[in-house]
Amino acid sequence: MGLRVVLVTGPRKSGKGAIIRAMIDLLWQHRPHYMRLARNNGDKKPPSKLGLQTPEDWGLASARWLMYDDDLIFERLPAALTQIHAADRYGSVVVEADSDPIVRNAYPFDHRVFVMPTPCDLYEIFRTPEQAAAAMHAVLKDTTAFASEVFGLIDQGRMLSEGDCNEKPDLSATQWRGFLYSPLGEELITRILLQPPYHGLAESDVVIINTGVGARSCSTAKCISKLDCLLRKISTLTQREVRRFACDLYAEPTPASRELLEVLAPMCQAGR
């Protein structure tokens, strides 16, 4: 497919739309197509009135909402992108979605950008020790339930009815230790440390702390320091660099914002 597809995801109210707007205003030379994903049973709904402005007024080639659930996302998202491809063979598409593991695994996106607000509390991003212990227990005692949360596997109940997924892995203590100290095990551990809305950090190319959203506190520096440590660990495990920036693209330019634009620029090109 000649399309270039960029996923911009992150927690609700993190300023994803503002980041996309800045990318359109400052970087895209050719109008991209915009797609907003939302769950059928969620509270995020398409606007009832689109107003007088057209996609062209927003610098877009087209704009659409795509409603989905766990069964439909793997059909509807590729179908919608195929439809765009038929009209614009070498176009680019920016897909906006709230944090949802099913979305992250529904399509082989070319680029992934994770947007988060300025952290105020450590446990906005990271699980509490009790939560982390419970998540680890889920890994050891029920791998299917954990995979459903982290990787977005479809309908746990249906999976269990179709096979013996409920059986506990027959591994010795030594084998468990070997697994947990393998690259896959270590990556699972890093996901255990994060609150579910932040699991997408592990798969992103760029992480943006949007300083235009949220408020700093005495814990902010500690949060960012711990996040940076985790991102370095993820980069080591995956052999893929994860870049982290903290800036507001609509404020006065800073070295961080200028470098961020340089990193985002290749994502804002036409398809190939």
Q: What is the pLDDT of residues 160-213, one digit of tens each?
A: 444 444 444 455 566 555 655 565 665 676 778 899 899 888 889 999 999 988
In words, the CATH class of domain 4-126+194-268 is alpha beta
Reported confidence tier of residue 235, pLDDT bands at 50, 70, 90:
confident
The chain-wide mean pLDDT, for the chain, equals 82
* Strand partners for 126: 194
More confident residue, 51 or 84: 84
DSSP tag of 215: -
**Looking at residues 17-42, what average pLDDT do you find?**
92
Buried b (16+ CB within 10 A) or exposed e, 42-67: eeeeeeeeeeeeebeeeebbbbeebb
The structure's pTM equals 0.82
**Looking at residues 11-22, what average pLDDT do you find?**
93
pLDDT of residue 159: 42
Q: First vs last Cα of the chain: how many Å apart?
A: 8
**Looking at residues 243-256, what average pLDDT do you find?**
93
**Looking at residues 18-31, what average pLDDT do you find?**
93
Closest to 15 in 3D by CA, of 122, 113, 129, 147: 113
User: What are the Cα distances from residue 116, in Å, to 98, 202, 245, 252?
Assistant: 11, 13, 10, 20
pLDDT of residue 161: 44
Residue 72 has pLDDT above 50, yes or no: yes
DSSP H helices in the chain: 16-26, 73-87, 101-104, 122-125, 129-141, 143-150, 156-162, 173-180, 183-193, 220-238, 255-264
Reported confidence tier of residue 48, pLDDT bands at 50, 70, 90:
low
pLDDT of residue 264: 97
Residue 83 · residue 54 · CB < 8 Å: no
- The four Cα atoms 118, 122, 123, 128 give a dihedral, to 10 degrees, of 160
- Residue 206 CA, distance from chain mean position: 10
More confident residue, 130 or 145: 130
User: What are the Cα distances from residue 55, in Å, to 46, 60, 62, 97, 128?
Assistant: 15, 5, 5, 19, 43
**Looking at residues 213-239, what average pLDDT do you find?**
87
**Looking at residues 144-157, what average pLDDT do you find?**
52
**Looking at residues 79-99, what average pLDDT do you find?**
94
pLDDT of residue 162: 44
Q: Which of 71-75, 145-149, 249-253 has the lowest mean pLDDT?
A: 145-149
More confident residue, 2 or 255: 255
Q: Where in the chain is the domain with CATH 3.40.50.300?
A: 4-126+194-268
